[in-house]
Amino acid sequence: MKNLTYFLDQPGGNFTATTELISEPGPGEIRLRTLKTSVCQSDVVIHQQGLPRIKQWPAILFHEACCVVDAVGSGVEEYVSGDLVGLGCDIPCGDLSCIYCGINGTGDWTSCPNTQATGHEFPGFARLYTILPDWFVKLGPIVKFPKDFDPSYACQLEPLACCLEGMTRVNNCIENRIVVLIGAGSQSTYALQCAQAMNARKIIVINRGKDRLERVMKDFGDDNVLGIRWDEQVVDNVFKACQPFNEPHFLMVNAPCREAYELAPNLMGYGTVLDGHAGVKGASGKPKIPHQVDLNNDIHYRLQCYQATHGSSMHGIRLAHQFLTEGRLPKIGLMTNDTERFQHTKLDAAITRASDSDSLKVIVDWDQ
C-alpha cells in the first residue's frame, strides 16, 4: 500500500510530500496509522536551524504522536489492529542486552550512550503510516488508550511525560507545597495542571511576555494560581507570594535560557527542590552556566536539592497515561485553540504558529 511522508529537506527548509510503498509488518513488528501529532518546541528549532542530533537529511520530524495500530506482524501478542496508542519520544537503543535499554536494563534510556529519539535519530511521525521494529514494540514507550479516548489528548502523552518526570524525581515536593514555574510555555502549562491535580498549595507562574502569561492565567488559573511578570522585582514578588512560607518548595526551570538559570538559584530557600528542566542550547553548543553551591550550608543544612530531568522513560510515560486516562487534567483541551489546529498538508504553517509568543500546543490532524 501507499504511504505519504513529509521530509524536511534541510534546516530552515521546506517539507516535501513523498509517496512511497509501505510493506506489511514483519515478525514482531507493528504498523501504525498516524491520527494526531502535536508540535514540540524542538520541532520549531529543528525546522528553523536543525539539531546536531539529526545527522541524516532530509529528516522526518514529529515525536508527539497518537496512532492507531493498523496491522501486526507474526508473533505480536501485545497489540491488535484497531488499538489506539500514544508514544514517547526517547526510545531504547535497540540492543536487547543494553544495561539501560535492554530486557534487564534499568529503563533509563536517556542515560544510554546510544540513546535515540523519534523525530531525531529515529524517523518521526510526519507520515501516514509507520512500521515499528520488533525491539520498539517489545521495549519502547507505547501505551494503549481506550478506543473512544480523544487522540488530540493522547498525542500529548510525551510532553506530559517529560513534565511529570521533572515533578516526581524527588518525592513530596508538590502536594500541599508552593510550586514556582519559570516560563509560561507548554511545559509550564502542563506542570501547572499537574500541580493542580496533585493538590499543590499554591502555583506561581513567572513569565517575561504578557501574552502567554495572560492566556495561561485566564484558561488555567484558579484561586491558588498566580502569574508574576519577570521583571526587576521578580525575586521579591515571588518571595512575597510564598508567604507565610519564606520560599518556594519546588522550582521548575521551563524557559530554555541562561537568564532562567541565573534567576532560579535566587529563588531557592529552605528545602527548595530545583528542577533544571529546560536545557540551554545555542548555535555554538551548550554554554557553561556556573553557580556556586555551599554543600554544607545550602545542601545539608538548608536541604536544597538541585536536580534535572530531560526526556522521559516508562516512569513518566505511565504517569502521563494515568493522568490522561483518569481525567485528572480536565483543561488540557484548552492548550490548543482553533488557530492551533492544522491539516498535515500545512506543516510549515503549523510550525510557524507553534513559534508564536502566545501559542501553547499546535496539533496536526492526519485522520481527515
Q: How far is the CB of 18 from Zn ion (least distance, A)?
A: 24
Interface pick for Zn ion out of 100, 136, 230, 323 (rule CB under 5 A):
100
The candidate with the shortest Cα–Cα distance to 360, out of 226, 234, 192, 228, is: 192
How many other CB atoms sit within 10 Å of the CB of residue 325?
A: 16
Q: Which helix (H) or strand (E) segment is 210 a member of?
A: helix 210-220
- The span from the CA of 365 to the CA of 368, in Å, is 7
CA–CA distance, 3 with 32 (Å, rounded to integer): 11
CB of 236 to Zn ion, least distance (A): 34
317 binds Zn ion (CB under 5 A): no
93 or 179: whose CB is closer to Zn ion?
93
How far CA 71 is from CA of 23, 83, 145, 247, in Å, comes to 10, 10, 17, 53
Query: Looking only at Cα atoms, what is the longest distance across the chain?
Result: 65
State which residue, 158 or 298, has the beta carbon closest to Zn ion. Answer: 158
Number of H helices, E strands in the chain: 10, 17
Interface with Zn ion includes 101 (CB under 5 A)?
yes
Nearer to Zn ion (CB atom), residue 159 or residue 248: 159
How many of the chain's residues bind Zn ion (CB under 5 A)?
A: 7
- Listed in order, strand segments (DSSP E) in 268-316 are 273-276, 305-308
Q: How far is the CB of 92 from Zn ion (least distance, A)?
A: 6
In the complex, the smallest distance separating the C-beta of residue 127 from Zn ion, rounded to whole angstroms, is 17
Residue 42 or 196: the one with the smaller Cβ distance to Zn ion is 42
Q: Closer to Zn ion at the Cβ: 187 or 304?
A: 187
Looking only at the bridges linking them, the beta strands covering 2-8 and 15-21 are antiparallel
From residue 121, alpha-carbon distances to 15, 115, 366 in Å are 18, 9, 22
Residue 198 contacts Zn ion per CB under 5 A = no
**Full strand arrangement of the beta sheet holding 305-308:** 225-229, 202-207, 178-182, 250-253, 273-276, 305-308
| Site residues (CB under 5 A) for Zn ion, limited to 206-245 | none
Looking at 93, 184, 274, 314, which residue binds Zn ion (CB under 5 A)?
A: 93
Taking CB under 5 A as the criterion, which residues in 154-183 touch Zn ion? Answer: 159
Say whether residue 98 binds Zn ion (CB under 5 A): yes
Least distance between Zn ion and beta carbon 292 (Å): 32
Report the length, in residues, of the chain.
Answer: 368
User: Do residues 216 and 189 make contact, with C-beta atoms less than 8 angstroms apart?
Assistant: yes
Check binding of 91 to Zn ion (CB under 5 A): no
Residue from 22, 39, 40, 203 touching Zn ion (CB under 5 A): that is: 40
Site string for Zn ion, 105-134 (x = CB under 5 A): -------x----------------------
Q: Residue 54 or residue 93: which is nearer to Zn ion going by CB?
A: 93
Q: Which is nearer to Zn ion, 258 or 310 (CB)?
A: 310
Interaction site with Zn ion (CB under 5 A)? 40, 93, 98, 100-101, 112, 159
